[in-house]
Amino acid sequence: MRDVTIYEVGPRDGLQNESAIVPLDAKVEFVQRLVAAGLPVVEATSFVHPTWVPQLADAAELIERLGADPDSARPPGGHPVLVPNERGLDRALELGCQHIAIFGSATESFAQRNLNRSLDEQFAMFEPTVNRARAAGLDVRAYVSMCFGDPWEGDVPIAQVVEVGKRLFDLGASQLSLGDTIGVGTAGHVGDLLTAFNDAGLPDDVLAVHFHDTYGQALANAYAAWQHGVRTFDASAGGLGGCPYAESATGNLATEDLVWMFRGLGVETGVDLEALVATSLWMAGVLGRPSPSRVVTALG
């Protein structure tokens, strides 16, 4: 019974930004503990080339381990994985993944740095990946990054974000996640962007939001999105994460902080907050540093 869906990205978006390599056993336990705490969706990893993100070089082994244990807690349909291109999709298909995500950019600068493609070329790269995934019966999520600001270009026009997001969604995605990659968004900006997507034909039920907390605005932005009508929120246990291609990006919105806010609003998340806090404290021990989550600090 949930009023909102929290899309947990800690094992992928959180751990990909760590300087140290987290052991495979710890990653397996992390995902399993998150699912056991009631997170309905836990994005497990990314099939990106290890040269670019060595922290996730064990992606195939992780998926195999998660699927091999018949007693392992996992959501129906398995865990989503990020695939950058058709090679990544090949690995996802080989391992029986049923949910994938692609990761596009709303700006030229980040498309070049993250994808080695121009803003327009990214669609040609993603189209065959999405077509093949859909033909194989997979569900596809589309991320669009730099929706609120870009470290090289500054402010990003709302019309540009909507055009890019709609083109990514129209490739065949079931959901579009709007990312404040460097954490510069504010509540008013969130409302304006969501309204613009609605006006472009994308209703709230196909939109998700993904906030970073660089300026301490992630929770306020999530509240603004909830008030607007969005019901899917990306978050990272313990506030882990950043972006390996954008140095100004700090941690994601902490899942615990989001759950605490919704609890106060009487909004059901289905998440056991105490179990989640315990999981983030455990992962903080694995990483050897405290969690930046305010709720983890307060309850831990």
Write down the domain spans for the chain.
Answer: 5-299
Rounded mean pLDDT of 256-274? 98
pTM of the full predicted structure? 0.95
How is residue 237 written in tokens?
Answer: 């246990």
Q: What percent of the chain has pLDDT over 90?
A: 86
pLDDT single digits (tens) 97-140 = 999 999 999 999 999 988 889 999 999 999 999 999 999 999 99
Let me know: does 42 contact 11? Beta carbons within 8 Å: yes
Specify the pLDDT at position 148. 97
Give yes or no: 97 in active site.
no
Pick the catalytic residue: 243, 246, 254, 287?
A: 243
SS3 107: coil
Asked whether residue 249 carries a pLDDT value surpassing 70, the answer given is no
Output the six-digit token pair for 121: 């070329």
pLDDT reported for residue 17: 85
| pLDDT computed for residue 52 by the predictor | 85
Among 46, 53, 128, smallest CA distance to 82 is for 46
The CATH code of domain 5-299 reads 3.20.20.70
Is the confidence at residue 171, as pLDDT, over 60? yes
Q: In terms of DSSP bridges, do strands 5-8 and 41-42 run parallel, antiparallel, or are they unpaired?
A: parallel
User: What is residue 22's predicted lDDT score, i.e. its pLDDT?
Assistant: 95
- Over residues 37-48, the pLDDT tens digits come to 999 999 999 999
Task: Give the pLDDT of residue 78.
Answer: 86
Parallel, antiparallel or unpaired: strands 175-180 and 139-145? parallel
SS3 state at 150: strand
Is the confidence at residue 263, as pLDDT, over 90? Answer: yes
The Cα 23–Cα 41 span in angstroms is 22
49-57, long-range: CB within 8 Å, 24+ apart, which pairs?
Answer: 49/84, 49/87, 52/244, 53/16, 53/244, 54/21, 55/15, 55/16, 55/17, 55/18, 55/21, 55/22, 56/12, 56/15, 56/16, 57/21
What is the distance between the alpha carbons of residues 266 and 251, in angstroms, rounded to a whole number? 26
Please determine, for residue 254, whether its predicted confidence score (pLDDT) is greater than 60: yes
Burial of 40 (0-12, 13-18, 19+ CB in 10 A): middle
Q: What are phi and psi of 180, to 5 degrees?
A: -95, 80
- What per-residue confidence (pLDDT) applies to 242? 60
Write the DSSP symbol of residue 9.
Answer: -
Is the pLDDT assigned to residue 68 strictly greater than 80? no
